[in-house]
Amino acid sequence: MTTVEVFAPAKINLTLHVTGQRDDGYHLLDSLVTFAFVGDRLTLAAADDFSLNVTGPFADDVPTDASNLISRAADLMGLSAAITLEKNLPVASGLGGGSADAAAAMKGLAQIHNRSLPDRDAQLALGADVPVCMMGGTVRVRGIGDRLEPLSVSSTSWPMVLVNPGVAVATSDVFSRLASKDNPPMDDPFALGPAFDLMDEFFDWLAGQRNDLEAPAREIAPVIGDVLASIAAQPGCRLARMSGSGATCFGVFGDDALAAEAAMQISAEKPRWWVVLSKEPGF
């Protein structure tokens, strides 16, 4: 196989609870993660030397040197390819784009060279979100990103609207402003049992959870509050919450038409914001 294309979907933190911090500085998390139907795309072609070309609406924000996670992933595997990244996701946006790109690159490199994927510890060395991006689906993520529990849920897709105000937020800055780093974990999603597949019951559960990074992120970028208010004001919105360390926020809707109308309304009111309609595929 000489050329492969790999999709790198946006990671959505439906919940994000910060439950502690290790002596080495790594934060402990308890998060329910899923993936949207929007994301970056990688095209990998067999080549003797590694190269990275970036296109797409957010190409100018992406470094192409050795600091890029795609380059680091190739170094980790000791494999080369000519890689083109179509960067459709905003950078430093709370969507795990860099980690998703690294996971996609490793999958593509493994296909081209007929090699095995790196183990989870090696993936984790690239970033806390890389293992879950490699796994995909809907996953409870704990620890420093090393404890993954996939959830089996129904095949019904819920429409989701993603909104980013065009402000990059550094994850390290958000964590440095976090007032409490020893917060309660989220309620066990596995305890829902069959109710997990029922929309109303799951939304009730989800509404009782948190993103502990929202408050410090809003200190850095107060516009996040405006984004959340705009999403929550749309008819049919069942939940509005920030993803990751921001600034992207998401709204989940129980109706396709209402979600589409919400995306159009927010885009009309805030034409400079990045607004995307997606179906979250985990449910």
Q: Which residues are catalytic?
A: 11, 129
Phi and psi, residue 178, nearest 5° = -65, 120
Residue with tokens 């976090």: 178
Q: Are 19 and 182 in contact (CB under 8 A)?
A: yes
> What is the secondary structure of 146-211 as a DSSP string?
TEEEE----SPPEEEEEEE-S----HHHHHHT-S-S-PPPPP-GGGGGGGGGSHHHHHHHHHT--B
Dist. CA 73–CA 78, nearest whole Å: 8
Prior bond of 247 cis (ω within 30°): yes
Q: Other C-beta atoms within 10 Å of 177: how many?
A: 14
Residue with tokens 């502990």: 212
> What is the secondary structure of 83-115 as a DSSP string?
EEEE--SPSSSSS-HHHHHHHHHHHHHHHHHT-
